[in-house]
Structure 1
Amino acid sequence: MSHSPATPSNTATQRLLKAARMLFAISAMAGTLAAQAAPRTEPKPDWSTHDMPSQKGRIVLVTGGTSGMGYEDALALTRAGAEVIIAARNAERGREAIANIKQAVPEARVQFETLANLQSVRDLANRLQGRLPRLDVLINNAAIMSPPVRGVSADGYEMQLATNYLGHFALTGLLMPLLRKSDDGRVVSLSSIAAGRAILNFDDLQAERHYDPFAAYSQSKLAILKWSIELQQRSDAAGWGIRSIAAHPGVAVTELIARGPGLDSQFGKQWAVERDRYHSAAQGALPTLYAGTALEAVGGAYYGPTGDNEKRGPLGFAKMPPAAADRSNSATLWQLSERLTGVTYR
């Protein structure tokens, strides 16, 4: 096979293209290294909502904000002056949440949007694109925990993976244009200490062959933690200017147990004995609120309580599970998530 000789102009062009690619790669790497090397200021251990900077003029979306920690997020953010959108499944509970918030904060700017399957995620993103100038903070909070029987979403995916992870992956990707319009766009995603006991089982990700309620829950929370870290890496490399931060509440007293394994289950009975030792929903919300509002919050970081094996205690940097820090399969997870949701990030 013969080859045409390279002309001087072609050679010069090739060199310029090669140099440009190298500069891009070096710039992306420098951004990532700079983010990793940025000072990691420890949060005040007794940080509370009284330490939150004013959120006046900020627009925040909270998924699963009708109860538990999501409700506490919405309440605290409206008190701080933010315009808050609560997105959740149940419209009646949404109306109740908004009424309660407005009773506590008469001047609150808060509204409800329905969020259920992937089509509703797309519909919500389209509505917000049409009416919001930007989105400053997206709090990916909605979750279900360990239902005893395997369920599937309207899109046919295992319910915990769909609710806790895939819906948030899709929503964040679709809202990326609005987040990039913010001067300080943040994506705060809720993981769990359960992620430390999880693996990503790509051979049976949907638990079709074997369903273990808690293993499926743990896997979904590992997935959202790994994705949160990967999102920060990609934001740095592509210049999206987004802070992606993960948080977990430790063990907080919410409705997850009652709505998941049930209070009559072995898990629920043990929980009933121990629940007085743990955080209230308002305390459990603090790592999320810190990540979403504190000037010192670090992109790519993971915040949570630091006492009693991170089940409760002062706010600080949470321990990163080795499976979450391992990036060897992060690209695989991202590509699979794009395929399952039909959403790519731009």
Structure 2
Amino acid sequence: MSRWTDTEIPDQSGRIAVITGANTGLGYETARVLAEHGAVVVLACRNSDKANDAADQIRTLVPDATIDVVELDLGALESVRDADTVLRDRYDRIDLLINNAGVTGLTGTTADGFEIQWGINHLGHFALTGLLLDRIVAAPAGRIVTVSSIGHRFGRIDADDPAAPTGNAYAKSKLANLLFTYELDRRLTDTPAIAAAAHPGGASTEIFRYSPAGFRLPNLAVARLFGRTPAMGALPTLRAATDPDVKGGEYYGPSGLFEIQGYPVRVESSARSRDARRQRRLWEVSEELTGVSFG
């Protein structure tokens, strides 16, 4: 199936989907399409006002949509735990968790003192997934999809000390997304749930909106010239999330040259992302840093 589009998505009625960073860009498009196909969609976002605006936009487009909003700041582990409490109160299972939110080009630290891209893109999602895992495993066919990037190929993670600074912080966090996905899927072997990953290729989104101007403006210019729409960029995530033929540990991205454009297909990640030793060590360190154990 070389031209997979959202018309291939099976009925999602009754399925509960939690999407981080769903008020804009790829997350918004993912939420909109899942709502169109009948899923109960939870927008898990840092800014509740923007999330509620996005929810209203989806309801306008999909009048019978069931949309919920949960406040979630992935840069603060206390907020991650609070979001887990809210989700537990509202839902006895979660069929789909999409770890979509991400930042790039930022400097500084999270509320817990982690480098901000590493803390939000990886550690926040690691903690959220671990806290929600029993709800996901309680679903008949739970699925966790984490959004990585072509940039993971430039990432470096020290096999002995994964938290150590190693150059490009964004690329490191996107490599961590894949190392986490592959180790998570291995640990889910005896459950009905699977973990998969996706990347959007070259997509024109708002990921640069909080970056310093010197980083943001040239990257926005390139994205607008060569990037595809957020709707196209969301297709790999949607395929990883809904295609019945997806298997645990698979990675989806665009089919075109350098995986920048095209329709979603299964793609291969870097050899470094497949390093089982790095996967295990990253997992151990992530549990230590977040205080979240998957059991």
TM-score range, shorter chain: over 0.9
**Is the 8 Å Cα contact of residues 65 and 87 (structure 1) preserved in structure 2?**
yes
What is the alpha-carbon distance in structure 2 between the residues aligned to residue 88 and residue 206 of structure 1? 28
Question: 1:239-278 maps to which residues of 2 (within 5 A)?
Answer: 239-262=190-213, 264-265=214-215, 268-269=217-218, 271-273=220-222, 275-278=224-227
Q: 2:172 aligns with which of 219, 223, 226?
A: 219
Structure 1: tracts of 5 or more residues without a match: 1-43
Q: Alpha carbons of 1:270 and 1:332: their partners in 2 closer, same or farther (altered >3 Å)?
A: closer
Question: 1:1-346 maps to which residues of 2 (within 5 A)?
Answer: 44-116=1-73, 117-147=76-106, 150-201=107-158, 203=161, 205=163, 207=165, 215-236=168-189, 239-262=190-213, 264-265=214-215, 268-269=217-218, 271-273=220-222, 275-346=224-295
**Is the 8 Å Cα contact of residues 258 and 268 (structure 1) preserved in structure 2?**
no
Q: Alpha carbons of 1:99 and 1:310: their partners in 2 closer, same or farther (altered >3 Å)?
A: same
User: C-alpha displacement at 1:120, in angstroms?
Assistant: 1.3
User: C-alpha displacement at 1:273, in angstroms?
Assistant: 4.6
What is the alpha-carbon distance in structure 1 between the residues aligned to residue 222 and residue 114 of structure 2? 34
What is the alpha-carbon distance in structure 1 between the residues aligned to residue 151 and residue 283 of structure 2? 21
What is the alpha-carbon distance in structure 1 between the residues aligned to residue 293 and residue 223 of structure 2? 43
What is the alpha-carbon distance in structure 1 between the residues aligned to residue 222 and residue 46 of structure 2? 30
- Indicate the percent of aligned positions where both proteins have the same amino acid: 39
Tell me the alpha carbon deviations over residues 166-203 of structure 1, each in whole angstroms, 9 at most, x when there is no partner.
Answer: 01111111111110111110000010000011110465
Q: Alpha carbons of 1:184 and 1:206: their partners in 2 closer, same or farther (altered >3 Å)?
A: same
What is the alpha-carbon distance in structure 1 between the residues aligned to residue 55 and residue 275 of structure 2? 40
Secondary structure (helix, strand or coil) at the match of 2:33 reads: helix
**Is the 8 Å Cα contact of residues 229 and 244 (structure 1) preserved in structure 2?**
yes
The number of equivalent residue pairs is: 292
Tell me the alpha carbon deviations over residues 117-143 of structure 1, each in whole angstroms, 9 at most, x when there is no partner.
Answer: 111111111222222121000000010
**Is the 8 Å Cα contact of residues 136 and 179 (structure 1) preserved in structure 2?**
yes
Per the alignment, residue 23 of structure 1 pairs with: none
User: C-alpha displacement at 1:271, in angstroms?
Assistant: 4.6
**Is the 8 Å Cα contact of residues 204 and 220 (structure 2) preserved in structure 1?**
no
**Is the 8 Å Cα contact of residues 208 and 219 (structure 2) preserved in structure 1?**
no
Taking structure 2 as the reference length, the TM-score comes to: 0.94
Equivalent AA in structure 1 for residue 185 of structure 2: Q
Secondary structure (helix, strand or coil) at the match of 1:328 reads: helix
User: C-alpha displacement at 1:206, in angstroms?
Assistant: 5.4
What is the alpha-carbon distance in structure 2 between the residues aligned to residue 322 and residue 193 of structure 1? 13
Q: Alpha carbons of 1:123 and 1:273: their partners in 2 closer, same or farther (altered >3 Å)?
A: closer
Taking structure 1 as the reference length, the TM-score comes to: 0.81
**Is the 8 Å Cα contact of residues 158 and 206 (structure 1) preserved in structure 2?**
no
**Is the 8 Å Cα contact of residues 252 and 265 (structure 2) preserved in structure 1?**
yes
Q: Alpha carbons of 1:275 and 1:121: their partners in 2 closer, same or farther (altered >3 Å)?
A: same
